[in-house]
Structure 1
């Protein structure tokens, strides 16, 4: 953050416009950190459906726009990139199935460009096979993270339900033990295996996979993933309060804006930056219209009922309303009116930093509370509006 401030101060001595442009560019940097997640495995293992689930999109059979195509035959014939619908810096790469005529096992790594990805998820519809093991060992040599996913667990449960002594917990334990023991025999000491249903990501271990990725990725990529994760359980929603860690960064940019000797510039920079940041918070907490409609469809709770428990007007983000809220909260923090001119002093920069920190913290807490109320309503938990 010191480097950010020093860079802006350097421009101030030469070009005020360049300094302002740099502040605005820096304010967007947290959402520009690239994260490339590769989804691989044998043909027809459910990779494409899994990619769509990670992006919060249903499979193409459910007609959700932008979903990865699926089918009874291998539908991924090339390395295919899918952008996250809200955070395009997070990309998921649907890799062709290993062992097909076009992508034989011996040349697979070279053909798909394994060195280009940050983390790998190896998907199998049943037990992990020879090609899956080969892939994992090659990734291990590259010293990159990889995880095993047993997909289509919903199908396994349905098949087992017909048996007289059926136990859901017992079935899941059997599948896990079989997968882990099989991989241990291949030399993986503590393989990380997740049992998921891409059609029902809110159950089984889809959220555990997301949280493991978020916990084990480098800090900058972990933040990028956290923003993109769907709020499929309360723990993920709570984790998103870690957005608090970026507030100091934005407050530093605000202080830099206060150092520019142009009337009203500090307030205008703060307003533009905060509108962008709060919009990001709204999307990150799943309070935007698109996310709420998807939650309504998956939970069976109507869109209007979900909206009814949202107390903060921030989630609606009309620019004219945000300006009034922005001025009101800034006033509470001790900053003078929007028409005031802050002299270029250390005191004005300190005040701008503290005010921005207070304002963004207030907005973040308001939206986090709304996200919890929405999540509880989707689960059918009784809450007071």
Structure 2
């Protein structure tokens, strides 16, 4: 028994050293914030660390992500906005599609589960109501984190003017060529033989060259289908958008993505994992409530709130499952049938949490094992009998269970062949 324990400790120490270098949690904190976190613990203990962590949790809760989507009428803006929010055109709160009149009003569409994330449908520049010289002021450009300029054909002179103004303001912008599936379908209907990859390359190069001629030196053009975001350049667009955002906003963007494939679900798990230790840090001994069947107490409100948030971000609430079933053309019962955790489909209570049967296993974890989960800077400062430990283990287990079910739901909806690394054509 002692030999096994010694080997475990040696392996844990080795892995801990490696994870200290590759901490995935640190992306929510700047290096200066991590240094302050360590200094606060050294001078004020856990209570002072709680203050810093609470500020970061509050920052996560009150960070807004505003995405501007613009382009000419008929380009597919509304369909894109709906797709990015995981909605179909006839879902409640969906942007109206196939509207014959051009967009004349600035309209915001909040994410159905994460109201701090909003997609804005901007009227096209250069219309009678919004001439180019008044457009920036009327649209309040400084509000948006980045801009997506959508076209169903060639980008117009007004599109390039808009890009120039966005660049002048120091904002990122991305050109999206929509309705690629319709273009390829039309070619097939005409009975012409063609190489799809070559055709996509031709469309992309034509867009790039026209934009360069209009004065955009290095335009980024992404080809997409609003009806199947797994195809063409969506994964490349998604990566570009992520890379162009600062840490907190990047996290908000990732967890707001629709569950299109297993890769997106795994990205969400990694982002949400960064929040687990912070929520556990806020769980103090005062007022800790024992979970039925477990001797240690925890802040049950933090645990339940965290699980509800994870469930929404992973698309496992009822409305998200309904929307995903409609998108996939499957009965929602088929998706719900593969869910294996009691954390989906009802109210989260202490009894539900106890049914996960972590029980005594939760109290045997060592401080070294805590460090293995890449808790930055303060990974092993909490005692194994703390409320922190119980909360941490419950939230970690819940996140793993929910992620497993989300992966199964995506596979049931789209099949296991949806590999985002293989569906992009470049």
TM range (shorter): 0.7 to 0.9
Question: Do 1:42 and 1:99's aligned partners in 2 also have CA atoms closer than 8 Å?
Answer: no
Deviation larger for 308-317 or 145-154:
308-317
Per-residue deviation, 1:121: 0.6
Q: Deviations over 1:108-141 (max 9, x none)?
A: 1122111111111111111111111111111111
Q: Pick from 224, 231, 253 the counterpart of residue 203 of structure 1.
A: 231
TM alignment of 1:326-345, pairs within 5 A: 328-329=357-358, 331-334=360-363
Partner of 1:339: none
Distance (whole Å) between structure 1 residues aligned to residue 290 and residue 347 of structure 2: 22
Which whole-Å deviations, capped at 9, do the CAs of 1:350-383 have from their partners, x for residues lacking one?
722233222222221122122222222223349x
- Give the C-alpha shift of residue 91 in structure 1: 0.8
- What secondary structure does 2:333 align onto? helix
| 1:236 matches 2:264 | yes
Give me the whole-angstrom Cα distance separating, in 2, the residues matched to 1:354 and 1:7.
16
Q: Equivalent residue for 2:149?
A: 122
Distance in 2 (CA, whole Å) between partners of 1:219 and 1:116 is 18
Q: Is the 8 A contact 1:42 1:131 kept in 2?
A: no
Is the aligned partner of 1:218 residue 2:253? Answer: no
Secondary structure of 2:150's match? strand
- Does 2:341 align with 1:306? no
Distance in 1 of aligned mates of 2:183 and 2:196: 10
Residue 80 of structure 2 corresponds to residue 50 of structure 1: yes
Q: CA deviation at 1:72?
A: 4.7
Conserved 8 A contact 2:68-2:119? yes
Q: Distance in 2 between matches of 1:263 and 1:282?
A: 23
The alignment yields a C-alpha RMSD, in angstroms, of: 3.2
Residues 139, 347 of structure 1: CA spacing in aligned structure 2 closer, same or farther, 3 A cutoff? closer
Post-superposition offset of 1:76: 2.1
In structure 1, the residue corresponding to 2:148 is in which secondary structure? strand
Equivalent positions of 1:272-311 (< 5 A) are 272-311=301-340
For residues 23-79 of structure 1, the C-alpha deviation after alignment (integer angstroms, 9 at most, x for no partner) is 9997665343101111112233222222222211222xxx22111123353342111
Cα deviation for residue 148 of structure 1 reads: 0.6
Q: Is the 8 A contact 1:196 1:206 kept in 2?
A: yes
Any conservation in 1 of the 2:211–2:219 contact (CA below 8 Å)?
A: yes
Equivalences for residues 64-213 of structure 1 within 5 A:
64-161=91-188, 162-213=190-241
1:35 aligns with 2:65: yes
Aligned 8 A contact 1:211 1:236 in 2: no
Cα pair 1:44 1:74 within 8 Å, conserved: no
Q: Is the 8 A contact 2:88 2:326 kept in 1?
A: no
What CA deviation, in whole Å up to 9, does each residue of 1:197-220 have, x standing for no partner?
223333233343233322321110
Structure 2 vs 1, CA of residues 87 and 8 (structure 1 numbering), >3 Å: closer, same or farther? farther
Stretches of structure 2 lacking an aligned partner (at least 5 in a row): 1-33, 365-380, 418-426
Q: CA deviation at 1:290?
A: 1.7
CA distance in 1, matches of 2:266, 2:53: 30
Task: Give distance in 2, aligned partners of 1:246 and 1:377.
Answer: 28
- TM-superposed CA distance for 1:8, in Å, is 9.5
Whether contact under 8 Å (1:42, 1:97) holds in the other structure is yes
- TM-superposed deviation, 1:4: 9.8
Query: Aligned with 1:143: secondary structure?
Result: coil
Unaligned runs of 5+ in 1: 13-18, 336-345
Q: 1:107 to 1:175 in 2, by over 3 A?
A: same
Aligned residues: 357
Deviation at 1:183, TM superposition (A): 2.0
The answer to whether the 8 Å contact 2:176/2:222 transfers is yes
Deviation at 1:92, TM superposition (A): 0.9
TM-score normalised by structure 1 residue count: 0.82
Q: What's the secondary structure of 1:319's corresponding residue? A: coil
TM-score by length of 2: 0.75
The alpha-carbon deviation at position 85 of structure 1 amounts to: 0.6
Measure the CA separation in 2 of the matches of 1:369 and 1:289: 17
Distance 2:115 2:75 in 1: 26
Q: CA deviation at 1:149?
A: 0.7
